[in-house]
């Protein structure tokens, strides 16, 4: 059976506001919520009792959210599995972009700035320390950070900004355009084994560690009822690329020269997401409309059953991600996360995301799961 988040467990969250050196303790026990605030050696306590534990839990989360918006940060290095190690408020304004990445220089998270007019708009990237302290707020060269990944070979981030690909050198703090200005929504970026793969302007490109292009492969797409059929993934070993540009088809290509190795076909229609798993021997496919997670064997070139065991059938999967060695798979289902063993496919944990309205972006960061929610929160959960 999976290790699920138990309902109504006692919670004690400690949040700190560095600017005023103020600490707040929030305690949830059954249908009671206690608050204790400490500053300059003085403390103030309050307690509220609710009719039900559900009402108390909702109030607890609202109180925490109010503190986060005031600049408090939750940091708990001793968090138990499924519980937050870190909560911090990034900012309001949901644009659909929820990019995040972990690097040796800190955590980087997308932040919406403003869109007053087409010529007066600005977005940012926030650099955070391990304890959630803001180290820098960096102006992006253009708006809408759809995705970002760390490239160790360059000590740089590679970003998809409004379908244009940039690198951001962490030593010099300089941006560099890797593609022409994006004119197509069929864009993605990924890094693995020293290689950087991206699509922009209907062209698939793979760069080596020396920044030189291994190949450039033009492709064409057709908009279907307002939807662009597109998804792509780079294998962890940097040798394969999966590319979806037609309904019911996924191309498997060499990341060395772009040669077509195989085309997977099926009744899956449009694809929301692709991901390599099982030591790059499996290709996971998340349907756009059915929201079903399907699996193909890379070597045998055929679909096989993905026996995810112990999870919940409802709600449907929205996104998934794997950790670096593909030993863990996280699946986003509404505001819940299910964590699976990457070999047995047994559900290990199930927990609800705090401070999330409808969706979030997941990214493994060392021994934690990084989460950027549509409510403006960045979190790390112990997994």
Tens of pLDDT, residues 228-254: 999 999 999 999 999 999 999 999 999
Residue 284 bridge partners (DSSP): 275, 295
Q: What is the CA radius of gyration of the chain?
A: 22
Complete domains list, the chain, with CATH: 3-75 (2.20.140.10), 89-306 (2.130.10.10)
> The pTM is what?
0.94
Segment 358-367 shows an average pLDDT of: 95
Q: What is the pLDDT of residue 291?
A: 83
Q: What is the pLDDT of residue 2?
A: 38
Structure tokens at 376: 């403006």
Residues 277, 313 contacting (CB under 8 angstroms)? no
Q: How would you classify the pairing of strands 3-4 and 347-352?
A: parallel
CA angle 263, 241, 153 (to 5 degrees): 170
Percent of the chain whose predicted confidence (pLDDT) is above 90: 88
Q: Measured between alpha carbons, how far is 27 from 368 in angstroms, rounded to an integer?
A: 23
Q: What is the pLDDT of residue 8?
A: 61
Q: Measured between alpha carbons, how far is 268 from 272 in angstroms, rounded to an integer?
A: 10
b/e string for 66-90 if b means 16 or more Cβ within 10 A? ebbeebbbbbbeebeebbbbbbbbb
Cα 283 off chain centre by: 19
Segment 159-164 shows an average pLDDT of: 98
Tens of pLDDT, residues 258-290: 999 999 999 999 999 999 999 999 999 999 998
Band (pLDDT 50/70/90 cuts) for residue 5 is very low
Which H helix or E strand runs over 63? helix 53-69
Tens of pLDDT, residues 318-354: 999 999 999 999 999 999 999 999 999 999 999 999 9
Tens of pLDDT, residues 61-71: 999 999 999 99
């Amino acid at each position: 059976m999976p290790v699920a988040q138990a309902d109504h467990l006692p919670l004690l969250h400690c949040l700190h506001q560095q600017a005023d050196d103020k600490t707040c303790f929030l305690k949830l026990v059954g249908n009671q919520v206690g608050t204790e605030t400490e500053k300059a050696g003085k403390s103030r306590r309050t307690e509220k009792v609710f009719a039900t534990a559900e009402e108390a839990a909702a109030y607890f989360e609202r109180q925490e959210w109010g503190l986060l918006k005031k600049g408090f940060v939750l940091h708990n290095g001793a968090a138990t599995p499924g519980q937050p190690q870190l909560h911090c408020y990034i900012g309001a304004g949901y644009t659909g972009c929820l990019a995040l990445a972990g690097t040796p220089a800190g955590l980087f998270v997308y932040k919406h700035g403003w869109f007053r007019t087409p010529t007066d708009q600005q977005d940012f990237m926030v650099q955070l320390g391990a304890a959630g302290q803001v180290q820098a707020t960096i102006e992006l060269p253009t708006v809408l950070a759809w995705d970002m990944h760390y490239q160790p070979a360059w000590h740089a981030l590679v970003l998809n900004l409004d379908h244009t690909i940039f690198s951001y050198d962490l030593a010099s703090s300089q941006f560099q355009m890797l593609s022409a200005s994006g004119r197509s929504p069929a864009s993605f970026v990924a890094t693995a084994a020293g290689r950087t793969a991206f699509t922009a302007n209907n062209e698939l490109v793979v760069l080596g560690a020396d920044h030189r292009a291994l190949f450039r492969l033009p492709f064409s797409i057709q908009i279907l009822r307002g939807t662009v059929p597109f998804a792509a993934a780079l294998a962890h070993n940097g040798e394969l690329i999966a590319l979806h540009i037609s309904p019911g088809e996924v191309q498997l290509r060499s990341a060395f020269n772009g040669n077509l190795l195989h085309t997977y076909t099926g009744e899956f229609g449009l694809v929301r997401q692709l991901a390599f798993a099982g030591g790059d021997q499996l290709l996971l496919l998340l349907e756009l409309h059915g929201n079903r997670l399907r699996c193909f064997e890379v070597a045998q070139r055929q679909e096989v059953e993905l026996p995810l065991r112990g999870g919940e059938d409802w709600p449907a999967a929205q996104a998934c991600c794997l950790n670096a060695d593909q030993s863990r798979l996280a699946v986003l289902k509404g505001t819940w996360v299910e964590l699976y063993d990457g070999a047995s496919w047994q559900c290990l944990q199930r927990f609800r995301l705090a401070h999330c309205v409808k969706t979030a972006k997941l990214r493994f960061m060392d021994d934690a799961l990084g989460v950027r929610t549509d409510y403006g929160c960045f979190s790390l959960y112990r997994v």
